[in-house]
Every structure is written in C-alpha cells, then in structure tokens.
C-alpha cells in the first residue's frame, strides 16, 4: 500500500501542483522509487497493478487506432514507421559511437529505440487537444507505433544473429569510470552475483573465512564498493556471456546468485551449468514458484529468506526454557 500510495501520490501531486500530465507525474514517481535500495521489492509488490494497467493501456491504444488510416494513407504510414525505426535508430547509433562505445553496444541501443510507446501517444493527444496536430497526424503516430512495436522483436532477432556472428571480433567495452579493482585471475573461487544487502554480507563472510570471492553486479556503485572492500568485481549482467567469461566459472568451485530477479537468475544458472557442469550453484528465492523455477534451471540448492527466518525464529523459541525439552531437533534444515 505504501508503494502504491507513493507512486500514485507523486503522480497526482505533480499533476495538481505543477500542471504536468498525470503520465509525467507517474514517470517522476517511477524515478523516485528506482532510487530506493528496495526498488526491486517495490516492483515485485506492485506487479499485479502494473499488469492490470498494462492491459488497460494496450486496450485503450487499440480503441484509439483507426485501421482505415492504413488504406487511406498507406505511404504516410510507411514513412512514419520508417522515421521511427530507422531515423531514431540512426541518430542513436551516431550518438553512442560518438561517445566511444563499441558497435555492438550502439546497435543494441539503436534496436531498443526502434519503437515508440506511451509518451508518443500522450504527446500526440496533447497536440490534438492544443490543435497543433491534426487528428490524422495522431492516427499516423498510433499506426507507426503499433508497427514499430510489432517489428521490434524481429529487429532484436536479427541483431542477436549479427552479434553472435561477430562476437569474436567485437571489442569488449571497458569500464573506464570505475576505480581499478583486484585481479580477476582467481582459482577455486566463489562467484557472488549481486552485491546488494545480501550479496555484500555474504561476500564479506566468505572472505573472512578465507574463500577467494569474485563479485558480479550491474550497478556501478556496488562494484565500486566491492573494489573498495578489496574484492575483485565485474560490472554487468551475469546473464551476459562476456561477463561470465571474465569471471572464469570453469575455474570456480561455487556460484551464489544473491539477486532478487528470478528470470535473470534462471538464465544465469543455465549458462553457468553449461560452462561448468561440476560447479555448485546456490540461489536466492522469495516464493515456492521461484524455488521451482531456479531448481529447474540448474540450481543445486535455494534459500527462501522468509522460510529461513521462520526456521531461525523457531530454533530460538525451542531454545527458551519453557520449550527446551520439547520437540528437540524437530526443525527441518534446508
């Protein structure tokens, strides 16, 4: 309730106090929640409402779309779709390359921007309301958006094939704004994926017990904290083949996934198992469904925080004098 109150409250307050649209206020609310270290938990808790709004959003877009525009103005529709898919992508490619990033990164960002979404509809609707844009223009924007959204998976499929073909010759992007960390040349090490509240505490315990640890995290600040603590760290998604290759899982003994995203964790588990079948894989979960998903993707064991907390509290209860002699060793160990 607090998450939803913050999200909707910031959106409504922004609209009422500053005169911006409710959608822009919702964007501000999303940025605010994203800055919290509990952002993943907030996203999971608000998922049912997000799904409901997503359904309403696409239904409303479908109701706004006029199929007759495809027959009455076919060339204008094609031109609009071409501008969205090729014009935006070309501009993004040039900008990313100008900042010195490799071609693969530039193409990925270009493919991501080869579509338009809800903000385009909001701006087009505002243009019609202010009589800046004719209704035909709004219909063209809707048609171009729907075409670009439908074709975007095809664009990414072609991009994946191209990247797979050129991955050996494409240089790996080097993170220049991170302080240098300890050497990644480790043997018999533990790979800790995720250096948040759980991962950082785990990495510290392992290091204190003499286990060589290597950290993977896609957050620059987290990797910088790992370097400051004397731990070698790699910035990037653990589901990326190049990032996993830098961690040398073939030389590791164990990998622990401390990230709260089950889909990314499942993909990473499958890749780690393929790279090193003998690697021990442990993962963090928050529900029975997540436990099942992670085990199906190769995890040797999972830890569900809520269940472990219940077991620990039960052990403490059974250790108190009134219950010390009752049901000894009756608490299951996971």
Average pLDDT value for residue range 88-117: 86
pLDDT at 36: 67
The pairing of beta strand 280-285 with beta strand 254-257: parallel
**pLDDT tens per residue, range 1-30:** 777 787 788 888 888 888 877 777 777 777
Higher-scoring residue by pLDDT: 40, 318: 318
Q: What is the separation of C-alpha 185 from the centre of its chain, rounded to a whole number of angstroms?
A: 28
DSSP 8-state symbol, 250: G
Tell me the C-alpha distance between 240 and 164, whole Å: 12
Tell me the C-alpha distance between 228 and 200, whole Å: 12
160 and 207: one domain? no
CA distances to 111, 154, 157, 173, 219 from 170, rounded to whole Å, are 17, 22, 18, 9, 23
159 and 257: one domain? no
pLDDT at 334: 45
- Residue 74 is assigned to a structural domain of this protein: yes
**Global confidence as pTM:** 0.52
Indicate which CATH number applies to the domain containing 274: 3.40.50.720
303 and 230: one domain? yes
- Residue 3 is assigned to a structural domain of this protein: no
pLDDT(300) > 90: yes
Tell me the C-alpha distance between 89 and 109, whole Å: 8
For all residues of the chain together, what is the average pLDDT?
82
Q: Which residue range(s) make up the domain with 236?
A: 190-318
pLDDT at 171: 41
pLDDT at 75: 92
Count how many domains the chain has. Answer: 2
How large is the angle between the packed helices 135-166 and 74-82, nearest 10 degrees? 50
The lowest-confidence range among 98-107, 127-136, 188-197, 322-331 is 322-331
Find residue 192's DSSP bridge partners: 215, 256
143 and 256: one domain? no
**pLDDT tens per residue, range 205-250:** 999 999 999 999 988 888 889 998 889 999 888 888 888 888 999 9
pLDDT at 256: 93
- Residue 145 is assigned to a structural domain of this protein: yes
**pLDDT tens per residue, range 314-325:** 888 887 776 666
């Amino acid at each position: 309730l607090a998450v939803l109150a913050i999200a909707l409250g910031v959106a409504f307050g922004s609209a009422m106090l500053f005169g911006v649209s409710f959608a822009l206020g919702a964007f501000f609310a999303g940025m605010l929640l994203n800055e919290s270290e509990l952002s993943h938990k907030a996203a999971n808790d608000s998922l049912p409402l997000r799904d409901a709004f997503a359904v309403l959003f696409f239904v409303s877009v479908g109701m706004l779309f006029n199929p007759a525009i495809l027959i009455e103005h076919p060339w204008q529709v094609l031109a609009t779709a071409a501008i969205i898919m090729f014009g935006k992508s070309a501009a993004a490619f040039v900008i990313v390359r100008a900042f010195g990033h490799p071609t693969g990164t530039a193409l990925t960002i270009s493919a991501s921007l080869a579509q338009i979404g809800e903000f385009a509809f909001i701006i087009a609707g505002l243009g019609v309301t202010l009589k800046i844009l004719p209704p035909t223009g709004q219909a063209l924007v809707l048609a171009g958006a729907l075409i670009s959204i439908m074709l975007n998976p095809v664009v990414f499929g072609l991009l994946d094939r191209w990247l797979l073909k050129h991955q050996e010759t494409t240089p790996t992007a080097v993170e220049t704004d991170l302080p240098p960390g300890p050497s990644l040349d480790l043997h018999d090490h533990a790979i800790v994926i995720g250096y948040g509240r759980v991962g950082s505490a785990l990495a510290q315990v392992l290091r204190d017990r003499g286990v060589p640890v290597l950290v993977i995290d896609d957050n620059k600040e987290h990797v910088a904290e790992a370097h400051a603590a004397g731990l070698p760290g790699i910035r990037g998604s653990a589901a990326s083949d190049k990032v996993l290759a830098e961690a040398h899982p073939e030389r590791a003994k164990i990998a622990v996934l401390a990230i709260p995203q089950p889909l990314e964790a499942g993909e990473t588990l499958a890749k780690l198992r393929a790279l090193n079948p003998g690697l021990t894989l442990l993962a963090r979960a928050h529900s029975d469904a997540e436990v099942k998903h992670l085990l199906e993707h190769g995890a040797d064991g999972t830890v569900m925080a809520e269940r472990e907390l219940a077991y620990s509290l039960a052990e403490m209860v059974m250790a108190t004098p009134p219950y010390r002699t009752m049901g000894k060793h009756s608490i299951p160990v996971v």
